[in-house]
Amino acid sequence: MAMFTVTLPGGRLWTPQFITAIDAEKCIGCGRCFKSCAHDVLQLMAVDEDGATIAIGEDDDDDDYEKKVMSIEHPENCVGCEACGRNCSKRCISFSAEKTEVYSLQIEANTATIAAASA
């Protein structure tokens, strides 16, 4: 999809910046980005001792996992507001003005790195 710009009611131009990636090595799984997103774009994932990733809910026990990371679960829902990035203390979320097909966090590629760092 091509980049687009809109004129806000006050006359200022605004170009939405859509979520493209989350750096799993920087992400601490705090959930601040998840809580600030009103469009169901993100999903909290857990990495177990074997390096496998699974979706987790608010009721799951933190002690069951080596690490928690955020995942881009529904990129098609992103409206480009960047609220998630503004609330990320680790600045691990990337954006682009072009809305592209984004898959869930490249966690498979990073899982081995995360598991090795946790060992």
* Phi-psi domain of 28 (left: phi exceeds 0; alpha: psi -120 through 50; beta: other): alpha
Q: What percent of the chain lies above the pLDDT cut of 90?
A: 50
For residue 63, the model assigns a pLDDT of 64
- pLDDT higher for 11 or 104? 11
- Domains, the chain, in order of start with CATH, read 27-118 (3.30.70)
For residue 89, the model assigns a pLDDT of 94
For residue 40, the model assigns a pLDDT of 94
- Is 64's pLDDT higher than 90? no
DSSP reduced 3-state for 85: helix
- Is 102's pLDDT higher than 60? no
Q: Provide mean pLDDT across the span 35-55.
A: 88
Beta carbons within 8 Å of 82's beta carbon, 6+ residues apart: 17, 95
**Max alpha carbon distance in the chain (Å)?**
53
The two tokens of residue 105 are 């966090």
